[in-house]
Chain A
Amino acid sequence: MKEKLHQLKLKYQGKKMAPAFNALHTFLYMPNETTHSGAHVRAADDLKRTMNTVILALVPCLLFGMFNAGYQHYSAINGFPENFSLFDHFLTWDNFLVGITTVLPLVIVSYGVGLAIEFLFAVIKGHEVEEGYLVTGMLVPLIIPVDTPLWMLAIAVAFGVVIGKEVFGGTGMNILNPALTIRAFLFFAYPTWMSGDKVWVHEGVERAGTADAISGETVLGSLAQGSDYAYSLSDMFYGFIPGSVGETSTLLILLGALFLIFSKIASWRIMVSAVVGALAMGLIFNGIVDAGWLPEYSKFYTLMSFPYWQHLLVGGLAFGIVFMATDPVTGSQTNKGKWYYGFFIGFLSVMIRVFNPGYPEGVFLAILLMNVFAPTIDHYVVKGNIKKRLKRFKTATIYPKASDEVDSLKTETA
Chain B
Amino acid sequence: MALLSKKDANLIKDPLADNNPITIQVLGICSALAITAELKASVVMAISVLFVLGVGNVVISLIRNIIPAKIRIIVQLVVVASLVIIVDQVLKAFAYELSKTLSVFVGLIITNCIIMGRFEAFALGNGPWKSFLDGIGNALGYGVILVIVGFFRELLGSGTLFGMKVLGDPVTKTGLYSIGYENNGFMIIPPAALIVVGIIIWVQRSRNRELIEEA
**A184 — nearest CB in chain B belongs to which residue?**
B186
A12→B99 CA distance, assembly (Å)? 61
Q: Beyond A151-B180, A188-B185: 17 further Cβ-contacts under 8 Å?
A: A149-B180, A152-B182, A163-B195, A163-B198, A167-B198, A167-B202, A188-B186, A188-B189, A189-B184, A189-B186, A189-B187, A190-B182, A190-B184, A190-B185, A191-B185, A192-B182, A193-B182
A189→B191 CA distance, assembly (Å)? 12
A188→B198 CA distance, assembly (Å)? 19
The answer to whether B202 touches A185, judged by C-beta atoms less than 8 angstroms apart, is no
**B186 — nearest CB in chain A belongs to which residue?**
A189
Q: Give the residues from 151 to 189 in chain A that come closer than 8 angstroms, CB to CB, to chain B.
A: 151-152, 155, 163, 167, 185, 188-189
Please name all residues of chain B whose beta carbon is closer than 8 Å to the beta carbon of A193 when the two chains form the complex: 182
A163→B191 CA distance, assembly (Å)? 13
**Size category, A interface:** 10 to 19
A178→B185 CA distance, assembly (Å)? 20
Please name all residues of chain A whose beta carbon is closer than 8 Å to the beta carbon of B189 when the two chains form the complex: 188
Please name all residues of chain A whose beta carbon is closer than 8 Å to the beta carbon of B186 when the two chains form the complex: 185, 188-189
Seen from chain B, the residues whose Cβ lies within 8 Å of a Cβ on chain A are 180, 182, 184-187, 189, 195, 198, 202
**B184 — nearest CB in chain A belongs to which residue?**
A189
A64→B202 CA distance, assembly (Å)? 42
A-B residue pairs in contact (CB < 8 Å), sample of 18: A149-B180, A151-B180, A155-B184, A163-B195, A163-B198, A167-B202, A185-B186, A188-B185, A188-B186, A188-B189, A189-B184, A189-B185, A189-B187, A190-B182, A190-B184, A190-B185, A191-B185, A192-B182
A155→B185 CA distance, assembly (Å)? 13
A155→B182 CA distance, assembly (Å)? 12
Please name all residues of chain A whose beta carbon is closer than 8 Å to the beta carbon of B198 when the two chains form the complex: 163, 167
Please name all residues of chain A whose beta carbon is closer than 8 Å to the beta carbon of B180 when the two chains form the complex: 149, 151
Report the minimum CB–CB distance from B135 to chain A (whole Å): 33
Report the minimum CB–CB distance from A371 to chain B (whole Å): 16
A190→B184 CA distance, assembly (Å)? 6
Q: Give the residues from 280 to 313 in chain A that come closer than 8 angstroms, CB to CB, to chain B.
A: none
Please name all residues of chain A whose beta carbon is closer than 8 Å to the beta carbon of B182 when the two chains form the complex: 152, 190, 192-193
A95→B124 CA distance, assembly (Å)? 75
Most A Cβ at <10 Å: residue of B182, B186, B198: B186
Report the minimum CB–CB distance from A178 to chain B (whole Å): 15
Please name all residues of chain A whose beta carbon is closer than 8 Å to the beta carbon of B184 when the two chains form the complex: 155, 189-190
Report the minimum CB–CB distance from B172 to chain A (whole Å): 15
**A152 — nearest CB in chain B belongs to which residue?**
B182
Report the minimum CB–CB distance from B100 to chain A (whole Å): 25
A151→B184 CA distance, assembly (Å)? 12
Please name all residues of chain B whose beta carbon is closer than 8 Å to the beta carbon of A191 when the two chains form the complex: 185
Please name all residues of chain B whose beta carbon is closer than 8 Å to the beta carbon of A149 when the two chains form the complex: 180
Please name all residues of chain A whose beta carbon is closer than 8 Å to the beta carbon of B187 when the two chains form the complex: 189
Q: Give the residues from 251 to 304 in chain A that come closer than 8 angstroms, CB to CB, to chain B.
A: none
A337→B202 CA distance, assembly (Å)? 33
Residue interface mask A122-154, B partner, CB < 8 A = 1: 000000000000000000000000000101100
**A124 — nearest CB in chain B belongs to which residue?**
B206
**A156 — nearest CB in chain B belongs to which residue?**
B186
A190→B180 CA distance, assembly (Å)? 12
Please name all residues of chain A whose beta carbon is closer than 8 Å to the beta carbon of B195 when the two chains form the complex: 163
Report the minimum CB–CB distance from B203 to chain A (whole Å): 12
A149→B181 CA distance, assembly (Å)? 10
A16→B185 CA distance, assembly (Å)? 38
Considering the complex of A and B, which 8 residue pairs feature the smallest CB-CB distances, nearest first? A189-B186, A188-B186, A189-B184, A189-B185, A191-B185, A190-B182, A188-B185, A163-B195
Please name all residues of chain B whose beta carbon is closer than 8 Å to the beta carbon of A188 when the two chains form the complex: 185-186, 189
